[in-house]
Chain A
Amino acid sequence: MVPQFLIDIKDFISQPWPWWVGGLMIALIMFILLFFGKEFGLSANLRIMCAADGAGDFADFFKFDWQSQGWNLMVALGAMFGGYLAAHYFLSPDGDIAHVSNATIESLKGLGFQFDDGKVPLVPDFYSWESLFSLRGLIIIVLGGFLVGFGARYAGGCTSGHAISGLSALQLPSLIAVIGFFLGGLFMTHLIFPILF
């Protein structure tokens, strides 16, 4: 028998989290990493993985002591476990859905998205192996991945490194990067999506 208080904790975690809980938890995670003497930044893992794969033979950018960065790979591995746990043990009572606003549902319908009984799934259906065989799926998964990997390293960080760590330390370069993130995101969402969808 599982003790009742454990079930209560599980039910408590399983509710959809309000934004302020998410924000405070992210700040806590940043603090824990700082306390361990590390910096919060997930995209650095892409460089580490390239280096570990022997990319140093092609560009000096990948010649660095990547073994000392193994801790960051462990954060990424943990994030995968966390995703597994959330999806399998902490699902919301109303299922695996994104509680987006009605205005967003209308905008999505305008682009041709169909949702059963108005429920928006957490992950869109184009994230499947089959969609790799469609042009749109291929663009989103392969080009999207490429742009994220290229841009994050060019800018010297991603959402965690610049928007969270950098802005928390009041770094001006991070503010410029975050402005760039938003300009790129707005350009894609408002000018490219009407063509793509």
Chain B
Amino acid sequence: MKISKYIFVGILLGITLYKSEAVSWFRIFEMFHFQSFHMYGIIFTAIIAGVGIVQVIKRTHLKSTEGQEIIFHPKDKSIPRYLIGGFIFGLGWALAGVCPGPMFILLGSGYTVFIVFLAAAMFGTFSYGLLRKKLPH
């Protein structure tokens, strides 16, 4: 169960994003046109429930199955990195209509051309790794 439990978490994620249509290019298109509450509803519900979960974990000092208290690492303080990187990600998210989760989900659901998308995304990450020291962070 050490590793296989994560496969079950992934299956849950795959069915969730597929059945709630978050994997759909058309849903992302709709979201960026503000023509439906659907995607905002998914994201806001997840965040509101998530904030509650994080607060309960922090206040009860809940321990993970690894035996240590669950901690939240504060992310590095910066603006350019998140704004520019986020902007580039947003361009790709709207263009392709998929983010990294749906990329795997649609590949598994039978759209084998996403193997090319995955290779391109890996090349994007690789390029960032090469250019990292020259980019503003």
A contact set with B: CB distance below 8 Å: 13, 16-38, 42-43, 45-47, 49-50, 53, 55, 58-59, 61-62, 70-72, 74-88, 90, 98-101, 103-104, 107-108, 120-124, 127-129, 131-132, 139-156, 158-160, 162-174, 176-190, 192-193
Contact = CB atoms under 8 A, between A and B. Distances in A.
A59 B20 contact: no
A16 to B, nearest CB: 7
B81 A154 contact: yes
B92 A166 contact: no
Given A86-B19, A104-B36, A183-B90, A144 B117 contact: yes
A158 B96 CA distance: 14
A166 B51 CA distance: 10
A38 B109 CA distance: 26
A38 B88 CA distance: 26
A71 B8 CA distance: 11
23 contacts: A24-B46, A43-B100, A45-B100, A46-B122, A50-B129, A62-B126, A62-B129, A71-B3, A81-B108, A83-B106, A103-B35, A104-B33, A122-B24, A141-B113, A145-B119, A146-B120, A154-B135, A158-B99, A168-B50, A168-B54, A180-B86, A183-B90, A185-B94
Contacts of B94: 184-189, 193
Contacts of B127: 146, 149-150
B22 A22 contact: yes
A170 B52 CA distance: 11
A43 B128 CA distance: 13
Interface SS of chain A: helix, strand, loop or mixed? helix
A142 B95 CA distance: 10
Contacts of B30: 100-101, 104
Interface in B68-87: 68, 70, 72, 74-79, 81-87
Contacts of A46: 100, 121-122, 124-125
Contact of A50 (B81, B100, B126): B126
Given A145-B121, A153-B125, A188 B85 contact: no
A58 B7 CA distance: 31
Given A180-B83, A181-B90, A168 B47 contact: yes
B60 interface: no
A149 B106 CA distance: 16
Contacts of A173: 75-78, 82
Contact of A149 (B53, B107, B128): B128
Given A16-B21, A98-B21, A184-B93, A78 B9 contact: yes
